[in-house]
Amino acid sequence: MLTGSIVALVTPFTEQGNVDYAALEDLINWHVEQGSDGLVIMGTTGESATMSHDEHVLVVSAACELADGRINIIAGNGSNATSEAVHLTERMAHLPLAGFLNVNPYYNKPSQRGLIEHYRACCAASDLPQLLYNVPGRTGADVLPEQVAELAEIQNIVGIKEATGDVARVEQLRKLCGSNFILLSGDDPTGCDFILQGGDGVISVTANVVPQQMKAMVDAALRGNADEAHRLDEKMQAVHAAMFVQANPIPVKWALACMEKLAPNYRLPMTEPELPQQQHIEQTLKQAGIISAES
């Protein structure tokens, strides 16, 4: 339930800044049709840091209702304050979730003891499985494989989204955490090699834009068909790069707006891309055949 091609889903907004639930429904239906294995709701790409707790819970609840069991839903439950992460976890624990994605508490740079106590408290708030989320570029702290192994001893920590881009960590994590510990890439440009080295899938930004292609690449890599996986991945590399010309989710929301999947609305402090980045994203989509060259 927590493996394969998982989309780090954006949150569509109206021009007034409210959640656009009609657009959210369309996105969920599209990903079901495209064959994605799961959706992360209210992660970084979903602009969770700009949402109130009530909004956060409402969006996750709506996603579960709209998905109606057709696709796995994973909820972001992280926060820089343990009490807030626990509160979010408790409020969503009754929902039909495949699990939680729990980011390393950002800004605080806790000690190893602080990390363990943080995750222990979050895991005590729900029996649902939880994935660690290691993204040093966002949190200011890198959870090293040895630390992951210690955290994996907590009963319902079942895996990690590893977003450093360091493919060598797959072997280290597998050796330290065992064959059943779920290893997911959170770095699109290296996701293919991550799986071929022994990973279990991706939680992807690019999959918002090319879900069918991402699913095909992940499936090929999981089968061990390196040639096919690399062939499919090569076709997405320019899109991967375009999705990170500015901070996520600025580029991916602009791309989806170009595809007419949502309106290009953001929550401050996120704003639309600068004009050169807009043009680069649009040109990349055209070259990849995602939008018409005439658009």
- CA–CA gap between residue 290 and residue 294 (Å, rounded): 12
100/55 Cα distance (integer angstroms): 17
Is there a domain that residue 138 lies in? yes
Q: How far apart are CA 174 and CA 162, in angstroms?
A: 12
For the record, the structure tokens of 93 come out as 């624990």
Domain assignment present for residue 108? The answer is yes
Q: Is 201 exposed, middle or buried (0-12, 13-18, 19+ CB in 10 A)?
A: buried
Closest CA to 85 of 115, 112, 119: 119
Return the H-helix or E-strand segment holding 203.
strand 201-204
The answer to whether position 285 is within a domain reads: no
Position 122 confidence tier, pLDDT thresholds 50, 70, 90: very high
| Number of domains comprising the chain | 1
Q: Where are the alpha helices (DSSP H) in 78-144?
A: 82-92, 112-124, 136-139
Distance, CA of 4 to CA of 273 (rounded, Å): 30
* Residue 213, in any domain of the structure: yes
The mean pLDDT value of the chain amounts to: 96
Listing DSSP states for 247-293 in one string gives: STTHHHHHHHHHTTSS-----TT--PPPHHHHHHHHHHHHHTTSS-T
pLDDT at 25: 98
Alpha carbon 83 to chain centroid distance? 23
Q: Is residue 280 part of a domain?
A: no
247: Cβ contacts below 8 Å, ≥ 6 apart: 270
Q: What is the CATH number of the domain that holds 198?
A: 3.20.20.70
Cα of 90 vs its chain's centroid, Å: 21
In a domain, 151, yes or no: yes
Is 267 inside any structural domain?
no
Q: How far apart (Å, rounded) are the C-alpha atoms in residues 134 and 132? A: 6
Q: Dump pLDDT digits (tens) for 249-293.
A: 999 999 999 999 999 999 999 999 999 999 999 999 999 999 998
Is 156 part of any domain? yes
Domain assignment of residue 116, given as a range: 4-225
Active-site residue set: 133, 161
Predicted confidence at residue 295, as pLDDT, reads 64
Ligand-binding annotation for 73, yes or no, is: no
Average pLDDT over residues 214-218: 98
Whether the predicted model's global pTM rises above the 0.95 cut? yes
3-state secondary structure of 111: coil
Given a cut of 90, whether residue 38 has pLDDT beyond it is yes
pLDDT (tens digit, 9 = 90+) per residue, 68-111? 999 999 999 999 999 999 999 999 999 999 999 999 998 888 88
- Is 45 marked as a binding-site residue? yes
